[in-house]
Chain A
Amino acid sequence: MKKTNNFKIKKDSPSYQLKSGSPRLWLIKAGLAQMLKGGVIMDVVNVEQAKIAEAAGACAVMALERVPADIRAAGGVARMADPGLIIAIMKAVSIPVMAKCRIGHFVEAQILEAIEVDYIDESEVLTPADEEAHINKTNFQVPFVCGCRNLGEALRRINEGAAMIRTKGEAGTGNVVEAVRHQKALTREIKNLQKLPLLACQKVAKAMRVPLALVLTVKKFGRLPVVNFAAGGIATPADAALMMQLGSDGVFVGSGIFKSKNPAKTARAIVAAVTHYDNAKMLSKVSANLGEPMVGQDVRAISEPEKLSARGI
């Protein structure tokens, strides 16, 4: 095919062009995340749950062996799910299927790419395989999503090639407080950045260990250069709408759906809540008569070393 020079990234789109990666590949990787916006990505552990999630209006599913609440309860080492299980789920639904690999475990990521999952979550919910480095995600054709607690973590992950960001929250707790903390930290740090003079930005970039260009992109557009979802502890339609009002582009729900009394109904309600997040009347309608949500956990009762969000910073 003849090469053309017509390819241009939108000037007002904060898409970050990596120096080492192809901007066209980046557009495809970050582009899928843009298609997921305003949607709910649901954790599922088997084919039946995946079908329930799809029918309820999930924009993607996360194929796992155990939901975070059970990973937390089980202890031990949590690893990538069995590829056989992920493939079965991919065959069962028509929406994108994501899967998690351990932080720094690039071979798990290679396996997930080989079975053609649509997105890889390099996730702190699994036990980290490398305590020093994350995966170099620019080497992959499949896009990655990564968790963050603040702007520095987010930009480091984007610089490593993450095409989508999510808050870490505190997975498996059914407690939204950490997700709120992380989303607000992001917003606050971006606002502060916008007030800073250029010279100070250099210091910020150095402290965050990311290129100045990336910091300046955030300063210019007033937001992350990729799609940013909320995750970690979202259990009710109101939680989901709260995260949307705080500025998230969409929501991951882990244990919140299949640990509730009525998963299908809860799933449908959270989907509607993310779309109509600023419509309290609609929220009250979808929140009614859902039955027991998942059991919540006080995050302060979790000791620092047991916090999943402290992994992979």
Chain B
Amino acid sequence: MFMSGIKNITIGILALQGDFFEHAQVLRNLGVKNKYIKTADDLKNINGLIIPGGESTVMARLLKLTGLDKKIVFLAKRGLPIWGTCAGLILLSNRVRGGNFRPLRLLPISVNRNSYGRQINSFSEPLVVPVLGQKSMYAVYIRAPQITNTNKNVIVLARRLNKQAVAVQYQNILGTAFHPELTADSRFHGYFLALVRKNAS
């Protein structure tokens, strides 16, 4: 990781609804330029895109309203690295259970919305993500989705102790069921940035 490379990239953060500010905070601390994406025009000149946590039903509606959905799919197919956390993972997936909307279908997995239960069942626990080293990170699950099925070409980056996949990657698309942006551990952002830099060079 060369610091000089970091300065030249700009990460877009989808800012329709949800915790986009928390992602911006992490990127700022890492010295990475970022900008909020609200309309299709905002997608110009970005090297990567983060779809934050929030309500997937809300974001799905607003994506369609501004024509952002088609533009994002277009850029993803051309190799733009995209990372979705929680609601972002739901939006990127191929199939969603428990939601009345069509996802972007960029990540060949099936997800089940709110499948741990309601807010009272939200939880946090240590999670080892092997690509980030053996030191566990703290995974926060808030009304989180569960990944119920993954295509064989999808790489599972992390599993809970019960073997359930919670972090996945398919080529340039990254998804986590938890919220790395809510804790002080920025290693997952670092992993995404490495993907972005590799793609940009």
Contacts and interface: CB of A to CB of B under 8 A. Distances in A.
B55 A28 contact: no
A35 B62 contact: no
Given A28-B123, A95-B57, A96-B143, A7 B18 contact: no
B142 A31 contact: yes
Q: Which of B20, B26, B98, B126 has the most CB of A within 10 A?
A: B126
B140 A2 contact: no
A240 interface: no
Interface residues of A, number: 48
Contacts of A275: 15-17, 38, 62
Contacts of B120: 113, 116, 118, 141-142
Nearest to A31: B142
Interface in A96-122: 96, 113, 116-119
Given A1-B161, A37-B54, A94-B99, A13 B25 contact: yes
Interface stretch (B102-110, B177-185, B192-200): B177-185
Contacts of B114: 94
A116 B19 CA distance: 23
Nearest to A119: B119
A202 B98 CA distance: 50
B53 interface: yes
Given A10-B182, A55-B100, A39 B22 contact: no
Contacts, number: 146
Interface string A17-43: 000000010011001101111110000
A42 B66 CA distance: 22
Q: Decide if the interface of chain A is mainly helix, strand, loop or mixed.
A: loop
Contacts of B98: 94
Assign chain B's interface to a size class. 35 or more
Interface string B4-33: 000000000001111111100110010000
A7 B138 contact: yes
Given A1-B125, A8-B185, A95 B55 contact: yes
Contacts of B137: 6
Contacts of B185: 6, 8
A54 B21 CA distance: 24
Interface in B118-166: 118-120, 122-126, 135-138, 140, 142-143, 161
Nearest to A227: B19
A9 to B, nearest CB: 6
Interface of A: 1-2, 4, 6-13, 24, 27-28, 31-32, 34-39, 54-60, 90, 94-96, 113, 116-119, 141-143, 268, 271-272, 274-276, 279
20 contacts: A1-B126, A6-B136, A7-B183, A24-B124, A27-B182, A31-B122, A34-B53, A36-B55, A37-B21, A38-B16, A39-B18, A56-B61, A57-B61, A59-B17, A59-B58, A94-B114, A113-B120, A117-B118, A275-B15, A276-B39
The 9 closest A-B pairs by CB, nearest first: A8-B184, A118-B119, A38-B17, A57-B61, A59-B55, A34-B19, A4-B126, A116-B118, A10-B184
